Amino acid sequence: MRLMPAAVAIAVALGAAPSAHSTVQLSTSVRHVLTSINELPTRDDLEAAFQSQQPPVSALVGLEAIITNDAEDLGLQLRAIRSLPLFCTASCATDQAHVLLVGVVDRYTNKVVSERTSKDTLRVRAAIEALGVTKIPNDLNLLKGFLENSSRDIRTTTVHALRNLCNADAIPPLRARYQHEPVPQVSLAISAALRDLTTCSGS
């Protein structure tokens, strides 16, 4: 899977040594705000929590430290990944938050197959889900390839993300996948996505 050019620098950092921020010691406030069971924190919640650290860091820097540190608690990592869309602006495609999401997808899907773990699948799914939330139409080019992923869970998450993009150009690849999708649950997700895309995109 090829990265979009804007994401290359961060992706290289993600795939290499741990981030320079990975040594950040997370405060009780940060851990508390990122372990809510029923909902994700707000941007203000995260900014306040990371400012309570010693020394204080911006929320985006703190989230990057969590995301790039595989020794960190997986649940915390997944919530950090899913929180990144909160930091997208009107030009989200070039924002660091979006670059980080693309980097997460690239880092774990480009690992040698024998070294991939179930945790990697969960991280990829969280990032793909978050990319759907950002609703950048051009992310279709990155996401559609995952419709052919060997993991039915990643395929299903990708279907949901493509639906959330509300980009009519997602309809042909979804229809193509539907024709040879062997897993009934994924086929149902594709069918629902096609119906929703027809409505939301006006196709």
Over residues 135-185, the pLDDT tens digits come to 998 999 999 999 999 999 999 999 999 999 999 999 999 999 999 999 999
**What pLDDT does residue 22 have?**
47
H or E element at residue 48: helix 43-51
CA–CA separation, 50 and 86 (whole Å):
15
Q: What is the pLDDT of residue 201?
A: 64
Question: Mean per-residue pLDDT for 43-62?
Answer: 92
Q: Which pLDDT score is estimated for 181?
A: 97
Q: Enter the DSSP assignment of 84.
A: G
The helix-helix angle for 8-15 and 96-109 (nearest 10°) equals 50
Residue ranges per structural domain of the chain: 1-110, 135-203
The rounded percent of the chain whose pLDDT value lies above 70 is 87
Which of 75, 84, 70 is closest to 32 using CA atoms? 75
pLDDT of 13 strictly over 70: no
pLDDT in tens, 57-77: 999 999 999 999 999 999 999
Question: Which residue in 141, 159, 146, 139 sits closest to 108, CA to CA?
Answer: 146
Position 23 pLDDT exceeds 80: no
Q: Omega of the bond prior to 55 within 30 degrees of 0, cis?
A: yes
Residue 181 half-sphere exposure, CB side, CA atoms within 13 Å? 25
Tokens of residue 67, six digits: 């995301």
**Residue 202 pLDDT:** 64
Q: What are phi and psi of 30, to 5 degrees?
A: -65, -45
132, 165 contact by CB (below 8 A)? yes
